[in-house]
Amino acid sequence: MKDRLLNAIKGKNAYVEVRIERKETSRVQFRGRMIDELSANTDLGGFVRALVPNGGWGIATFNRIEELERRINEAIELSRSIIPPEPIRLTPVEIVQVVLKENLKDDFRNYSLVQKKELIENYNEILLGYNSAIVDTSATYYDSFSKLYYANTDGTYVEKERADCGIMLVAVAKQNGNIQQAHEGRTSRVAFSDLKGLEELAKGTAEKAFQLLSAETVKGGRYTVVLDPYLAGVFIHEAFGHLSEADHVYENPRAMEMMKLGKKFGPPELNVGDDGAIPSLRGSIYYDDEGTPARRNYLIKEGILVGRLHSRETASKMNETPTGNARAQSYNHPPIVRMTNTFIENGNVPVEDIFSDIKEGIYACRAYGGMTQFENFSFSAGYAYIIRNGRVENLVRDVVLQGNLFETLLNIEAIGNDFIWLPTGGSCGKDGQLAPVGMGSPHIRIRNVLIGGK
C-alpha cells in the first residue's frame, strides 16, 4: 500500500494527502430479553485532500479504491477552483515513515460471536433480574478493528491500526408512569478480558435506575457544585476543550483576542491539557490525520491559558506550532481540529475535604453528554445528590449544568487529588463528525453554577 499511495501522489504540483481505511466491526445488542441487533460490517473507503499553490482545499471521498488516481485529480481540480484572498499555508512538520501496530494483549478477534454474545447476555440478565421495576434494558457489546494508511506529498507515510471494544449498559426503571434510566460503559483498546467480570457494574446500573424513581427533580437555581471525575472530564472537554480548538478562533479576530495566550482562565491550582500520545487510551492517536505526531499539549497552566490545539493550517495562520490534533472520523471526512485525551491534572485537596464546608450544594455524577456553543455550555448529569452542611444526602434527577465558560472556570474552588482516566467510552461530535475521545479528571468544586429546574 505504501508504494501505491506514494506513487499515486508523486509529481503533482500541489500538496496532496490520501487516506485509505478498512474497518471491520461487530455488534451484539440486547433490548430487554431480545436481541435487537447482531451484525458484522465492513467499511472500506478513501479520502483525498489537495491544496494547489494559492488555491483552497479540494476534497474527494470514495469507496472504490481503484478510483484513487481519478479522485486525486478531481481534488486538485476543486482546489484550483478556489481562490482565497489569503493563501492557505501549512506549517511544516517532521516527515515520518512509520508502521504502528495496535498493542493488543487479549485480541477480541480471537473470540467468537457466540462468546461475545454470552458476555453481554450475562450483563443483560443482571440488569433485567435486579427487580421488577426494571422494565427495559439495552446491553451492547461492540468491537471494531481498523487499518489506516496515510501518505502526503511531503513524503510522510503512516500506517496504523486501531482496535476498540466495549460494552454499554442501560437500565430503564418504571413505576406509575415515572421512567428513569441509568447507564454505564467500559471500553478497552487492549483486551477483551477488560470487559469481563463487570457483574457489579451491571448491578449498580440497575440499582441506580431504580433509585432514581424515588429521586426528586432538582430545584433550579445557582449552586456550589461538586463534579465527580466522570462529569468533570466531560465538563473540561465540553466547556473548555472545544474553545481551545484553534479552528474556532483562527478566522475570527475577536475570538482570538478572547483566547489570547497568557490570559487568566482559572485559579492557580488549575492545569489542563490534551495528550494523544499516551498508550492505548480511548483518544490516543499517536499520529494525527495529517501525519503530525501527537504529543502532550498543556492548555492551561497554573490558571493561565498557555496553548491551544492545532492542525497544520491553523498553526500556520496563528503562527503557533502544530500539535497533532487534526482528526477525521473516517475516510468520509476531512481532518478538523479536535481533542484526543483531555484532562484536568490532579490537585491536592483530599476528596472528603471538597464537600466539607458546603452548606447547600449539588454533587453531580456521571454524564449524559454535553453541548457547547463557544462560551456557553450545557451538560447533563446522570444523577446527582444534594449536599447539606458538608454531607452528601438525597438523590436528585434531571440535573443540567449550564453557564458561561469564562465565569465558570474562574469559579473553580477546589481540585481533588483522585485523578482517573475515565474507563467509560466517550465520543465527541463536531461538524458532523464523531471521534473517540478520552477524558480524565479528579473531583472538582465550582461555585455559582446555574442549574435549570422548577
Partner 1 sequence: MLEIKEFLRSRADSGELYYQSHENVILRFEGWKLKKSEVKESAGYSLRVQKNGRIGFSGTTDPNALDSLLDKALQSAELGEKITLDFPGAAPSKELELFDEKIVNYPYASLVALGEEIVDKLSPLKNECELKIDIGLTRYFEEFQNTSGANFAIKGTLFDISLELTKMEEGDVLIVSEFISETHINDALSKLPAAIENLRKKYNLAKNIVKLETENLPVIFHPDAVMALLLPLLVGVNGKNVSAGASPLVGKIDTQIFDGKLTIIDDGTVPRKPGSTPYDGEGFPKKPITLVENGYLRNYLLDLLSAKKLNMSPNGAASRGIFSSPAPRTSNIIVGEGNLSTNEIFSAFPKAILIEGLLGIGQGNIISGAFSNPVAIGFLVENGQILGRVKNIAIAGNIYECLKNILAISKEREWKYGAYCFPYIMLDNVSVTGGKNG
135 binds partner 1 (CB under 8 A): yes
Q: Is 189 exposed, middle or buried (0-12, 13-18, 19+ CB in 10 A)?
A: buried
- List the x/- string, 204-243, binding to partner 1 by CB under 8 A: -------------x--xxx---------------------
181 binds partner 1 (CB under 8 A): yes
Q: Pick the closer one to partner 1 by CB: 321 or 404.
A: 404
Q: Provide the minimum distance between the beta carbon of 1 and partner 1 in the complex, in angstroms, as a whole number.
A: 15
- List the x/- string, 239-258, binding to partner 1 by CB under 8 A: ------------xx-xx-xx
C-alpha distances out from residue 300 to 4, 318, 389, 418, Å: 42, 18, 32, 19
Find the binding residues for partner 1 in span 359-418 (CB under 8 A): 368-380, 397-398, 400, 402-404, 406
Identify the residue among 8, 14, 98, 113 touching partner 1 (CB under 8 A). Answer: 113
133 binds partner 1 (CB under 8 A): no
Cell of 422: 475515565
111 binds partner 1 (CB under 8 A): no
Find the binding residues for partner 1 in span 318-337 (CB under 8 A): 332, 334
Identify the residue among 11, 177, 197, 262 touching partner 1 (CB under 8 A). Answer: 177
Cell of 355: 464537600
Q: Provide the minimum distance between the beta carbon of 272 and partner 1 in the complex, in angstroms, as a whole number.
A: 20
Q: Pick the closer one to partner 1 by CB: 21 or 159.
A: 21
Alpha-carbon distance of 121 to 30, in angstroms, equals 7
Please check whether residue 329 is in contact with residue 433, taking contact to mean a CB–CB distance below 8 angstroms.
Answer: yes
Cell of 323: 500539535
Please check whether residue 77 is in contact with residue 60, taking contact to mean a CB–CB distance below 8 angstroms.
Answer: no
- Backbone torsions φ then ψ of 321, nearest 5 degrees: -100, 135
Q: Provide the minimum distance between the beta carbon of 353 and partner 1 in the complex, in angstroms, as a whole number.
A: 28
Alpha-carbon distance of 28 to 44, in angstroms, equals 21
Q: Which helix (H) or strand (E) holds 129?
A: helix 113-129
Is the backbone of residue 389 left (phi > 0), alpha (psi -120 to 50) or beta?
Answer: left
Q: Provide the minimum distance between the beta carbon of 444 and partner 1 in the complex, in angstroms, as a whole number.
A: 20
For residue 302, which amino acid is it?
E
Identify the residue among 6, 8, 59, 351 touching partner 1 (CB under 8 A). Answer: 59
426 binds partner 1 (CB under 8 A): no
